Each structure stands twice: as structure tokens, then as C-alpha cells.
Amino acid sequence: MTHAQKTNQGHFFEDFYLGQVMCHATPRTITSGDVALYTALTGSRFAVQSSDEFARDIGYPKSPIDDLLTFHIAFGKTVPDVSLNAVANLGYADLRFLAPVFPDDTLSSSSEVIGLKENSNKQTGVVYVRSTGVNQKGVAVLDYVRWVMVRKRDVNSSIAEEKVPDLPKVLTSGQIGWACPKIAREKFDFELSGAPHRFADYKKGERIDHIDGMTVEEAEHMMATRLYQNTAKVHFNQFTEGQGRFGRRLIYGGHVISLARALSFNGLGNAFHIAAINAGRHVSPLFAGMTVFAWSEILDTAELPGRDDVGALHVRTIATKDKPCASFPDKDGDSYDPAVILDLDYWVLIPH
């Protein structure tokens, strides 16, 4: 007797092809409960995303969803098709937040394969996808490229065509800020926001040690990945990962980004909106029980065309594991300090 295959095994590297388009399952309505749980898991405390009254005072209809919560939920939709059989998510580029998202909005995602490259070990390959998240009205709310290392089903298999896409290194100030409506900057309460610093207070080349550390626990990481409906085996399944390279589950790289962003409040407390992510690299793995620290460098400052309410800071944030950042651990030549786990290059908006 034969049995029909009804379960999703996920795509292996040789299943992908250039131009392949995937419409991902399970649209997700974001609720205020999701927002509260995200706050509990990350400790994020930016005022615009924390208080409806604060948000209304500066011109929002209510508090928008934290940009990274929007990203994680849209990202989670892609996992069963793109990275269920991933070894690791490697990086991001050209990520733009295109429209604000609010509680009760419903997000859906789709992806197109834009690059493929087999690794020399013949056991894995790198898949590049451009993914787009849309709301219930069909309005695109974010768009981004990521690349992920995926296992092969058969080491002797091959793909029809390889390509490594050419991606922009940095988005310009004219390409960002669309997800932030014009705010009433005179109504932005710097006392309630918890920080006195505004756009003009930051200078190119400035480095900020965010000081605080946050220890990652196994339970909260599992809860976070479930919140995002991220089903990648490397995060969920200790039975399989216990037999793998590290002998344990990896902390989802997106959770590291959220923790670094939450830690950055101490020094960048009024940088209330992530407008874009230029590039991101998960330098090394993080495991439960380790403590995350972060520091940031202001790479540049920029005015937004036609806007006098907010300016943009081009920021690079480095996150580390079990190493405070007063010494600003970074690269030494082509190699990173062994403690570095994340190198994130992005734009944030901050009031004038």
C-alpha cells in the first residue's frame, strides 16, 4: 500500500530555481496582544510604539506596530517555503518599510528567488529571495532581500543556473521614510520619550555604548519564534539539532536584532522608527544563557527630502555575546572579534 505525501517537507536547495515565486500561507492579523507579548520578550520601550496617546499627539491615529515586529511576522510567513531546511539565515539587504502597520491589520507575504549559489561542500547552497509583505488592502508595507544557507536533499543533485544578485549597499535618504507620516514635532514630548536628544545632537562618527545587557533564555526564544510563526528546525527542534553541528538550537537571528534594537534605546531613545535596513549579517551564533550587549556608530546624518519634522540617522549597530561593549568590539581586518554576533547597518528617523 502506498500513502500520499500530505506533509510539507520544505524546499531543499535543489528545489529552488531563479524566478520562482512563492505565495506564503497563513495571513496574520496583528493584535494588541501580539504587541504586549513582543514588549515582554524584547523589552522595547520606544514611546511612539508604546503609547496610543503619545502617538496621537504627534499625528498617528494610534500607536503603530514596532517595525521589527512587522518584519518578524512577515518573515515568519516565508519560513516554511524558504528556510524550513536552513542551516542558518545569513543576511539582509535593501529592506524598506513602506507603510505604517497598526493593530488589527492583516499581513501576508510572498517571495521571489533572485539568486542561487551552491557551496563548495556540495551539501548546502545559498538561496537569495526578495520578500514583500502586504496588508489587507494589498498595500505593500515592507520589502526586503535575505539570503539563507539551505541543506540539499541529495548531495549529487544540481541546479539549472547559479546567480548572485547585485544588491545596493546603502539606500539613499530619498528612498526611505515612507512608513512614517509627517509628525507634529512640536508635540513630541522629550520628557515622556525618556531621552532629550534630537537629530542635531548626533554627529557622524559618534560611537555609543548602550551599556545594558540582556540575557537570552530558552523559553523566551521559543515563545518569540512561535509568536512569529517561524518554524525553522534550527530554532524549534532540539531532537534534530542536538545531533547537528552545534548540538543545540540556535537563537533566531531576528530575535538578536530585536534585542539589539531594544538595548539601543539607551542612547538612541528618540530614534522611534526604523526606516530601512541597508545590510545585516549574523556573524556568529547565539545560544540560550548568553547575554547580549550592543554599541552603535553614527555613520551619517541626512535630511529627508521635503520634510522638516524628522531627520535620518545612518546607524551601524554591533551586538555581542557575553562581552560588554565599552571597548567597541568590531572587526580586526577581515575578522570580527569572537564575541560579535550581529552587524546591522540601517536608517532610523528622529525628530528635529
Residue 121 makes CB contacts below 8 A (sequence gap 6+) with none
Dihedral angle sign, alpha carbons of residues 253, 258, 263, 269: positive
Beta bridge partners of residue 136, listed in sequence order = none
Count of structural domains, the chain: 1
Structure confidence at residue 25 (pLDDT) = 94
For residue 193, tell me if it sits in a domain: yes
Structure confidence at residue 276 (pLDDT) = 96
For residue 293, tell me if it sits in a domain: yes
Residue 317 makes CB contacts below 8 A (sequence gap 6+) with 260, 261, 264, 294, 295, 296, 342, 344, 346
CATH code: domain of residue 75: 3.10.129.10
**Quick one: which of 295, 292, 280, 11 has its CA closest to 157?**
11
Cα(first)–Cα(last) distance of the chain, in Å?
71
**Which residue type, as a one-letter code, is found at position 129?**
V
Distance CA 186, CA 204 (A): 25
**Which residue type, as a one-letter code, is found at position 154?**
D
Structure confidence at residue 4 (pLDDT) = 58
For residue 274, tell me if it sits in a domain: yes
Helix axes 67-82, 218-227, angle to 10 degrees: 80
Q: Which domain holds residue 224?
A: 13-155+166-351
pTM recorded for the entire structure: 0.92
For residue 2, tell me if it sits in a domain: no
- 310-321 and 340-351 strand pairing: antiparallel
315 vs 13, 119, 300, CA distance in Å?
34, 32, 7
Structure confidence at residue 38 (pLDDT) = 96
Q: Where are the alpha helices (DSSP H) in the chain?
A: 32-42, 47-50, 52-58, 67-82, 190-193, 218-227, 233-236, 238-241, 253-263, 265-268
Please, what are the averages of pLDDT over each run of 10 residues along the chain (352 residues)? Answer: 71 94 96 96 96 97 97 92 85 93 97 95 94 97 95 89 92 92 96 97 98 93 88 76 79 92 98 95 92 98 95 98 97 93 97 96
Structure confidence at residue 332 (pLDDT) = 87
For residue 161, tell me if it sits in a domain: no
For residue 58, tell me if it sits in a domain: yes
Structure confidence at residue 159 (pLDDT) = 86
Distance CA 270, CA 260 (A): 15
For residue 160, tell me if it sits in a domain: no
For residue 256, tell me if it sits in a domain: yes
